[in-house]
Amino acid sequence: MNIKWNANDYTDHFAFVHQYGEDVMELVDAAPGSFVVDLGCGNGALSERLKERGYRVLGVDASKDMLKKAESLHPGLSFMEGDATEFSLEEKADVIFSNAVFHWIDEKDQQKLAGNVAGQLKKGGILVCEFGGYGCAETVHSTLERNFKKRGLPYLRPFYFPTIGQYAPILEKAGFRVEYATLFDRPTVQKTENGLEDWIRMFVKKAFEGVPGEMADEIIGESVRELYGTLHVDGKWIVDYVRIRIKARKITDD
């Protein structure tokens, strides 16, 4: 994962991440009692929703801080530390569900990710996932990139936002049949008064590593001012999200 989370701020101010994820769950059509893994479970909010649907649920996340938060909020659920590209289950899953995770994994590791997910599923099991798609938050990223460049700094983009045409072959090569895929705009309202600044500080960490604090504040402030006329609507900040949503079935034997 190309980000280190602040578990408390994430839970308090960015609940939209798991709230939107509840829509993705509609693609999970396994029978009650099925074993479902919430991959990149974060604070466990969606793991709890999956349990409420009658599934046996295991939450998996690479962040110790997030897992600690999840365990405190959902003491009746099981959680496990694990990297999405390497985690291993004692029992193969009927469903692997993942929301807002895959775009944080390097493009070069996406085939490894898909292969590992397939390896943890039963034959006939399904992957249901949603993550950032081509063009996600591009208005924000391109503005930040321009303001980094003005100061002679590189703007690192440690995320992978594919098209359907780029991602479906990765899954097919790993032994999946893609049964449903959509790429869509989802303008996302921010909860806090300083919504865009807070969003940048939460989700754009890698680019600011090594940038002096005063300069980082200057870049963020300048970018927020430039984007006010575009992304501040009816008194609220909106980030121009694009999502890719997929349901794929494992069709190969191990």
Q: Residue 59: beta bridge partners?
A: 38, 79
The Cα 78–Cα 226 span in angstroms is 45
Domain count, the chain: 1
**Nearest residue to 92 via CA among 73, 113, 116:** 116
| Share above pLDDT 70 across residues of the chain, in percent, rounded to a whole number | 92
Q: In this structure, is residue 143 part of a structural domain?
A: no
Give the tens place of pLDDT for each residue, 226-239. 999 999 999 999 99
Give the tens place of pLDDT for each residue, 102-115. 999 999 999 999 99
Give the tens place of pLDDT for each residue, 171-224. 999 999 999 999 999 999 998 889 999 999 989 999 999 999 999 999 999 999
Which residue spans within 140-196 are E strands per DSSP?
A: 176-189
The tokens for 89 are 């289950």
CATH number where 22 lies:
3.40.50.150
Say which DSSP state 31 is in: P
Q: In this structure, is residue 16 part of a structural domain?
A: yes
Q: What is the mean pLDDT of residues 144-157?
A: 97
Q: In this structure, is residue 147 part of a structural domain?
A: no
Q: In this structure, is residue 229 part of a structural domain?
A: no
The tokens for 236 are 């609220």
Q: In this structure, is residue 206 part of a structural domain?
A: no
Q: What confidence tier does 34 reach under pLDDT thresholds 50, 70, 90?
A: very high
Q: In this structure, is residue 172 part of a structural domain?
A: yes
The Cα 239–Cα 187 span in angstroms is 6
**Confidence at residue 193, expressed as pLDDT on a 0 to 100 scale:** 83
| HSE-CB for 38 with a 13 A CA cutoff | 28
| Separation in Å, CA 220 to CA 8, 100, 146, 229, 238 | 22, 24, 12, 15, 16
Consecutive H or E run containing 127: strand 121-132
**Nearest residue to 138 via CA among 120, 157, 112, 110:** 157
**Confidence at residue 18, expressed as pLDDT on a 0 to 100 scale:** 52
Give the tens place of pLDDT for each residue, 8-31. 444 444 445 556 667 899 999 999
Give the tens place of pLDDT for each residue, 155-179. 999 999 999 999 999 999 999 999 9
The Cα 63–Cα 81 span in angstroms is 7
- Domain residues for the domain of 55 are 7-137+158-190+240-250
Q: In this structure, is residue 218 part of a structural domain?
A: no
| Separation in Å, CA 165 to CA 69, 104, 134, 169, 242 | 36, 19, 11, 7, 15
**Nearest residue to 167 via CA among 157, 154, 155, 180:** 180
**Nearest residue to 97 via CA among 169, 158, 172, 44:** 44
Q: In this structure, is residue 222 part of a structural domain?
A: no
Angle CA 164–169–171, to nearest 5: 95
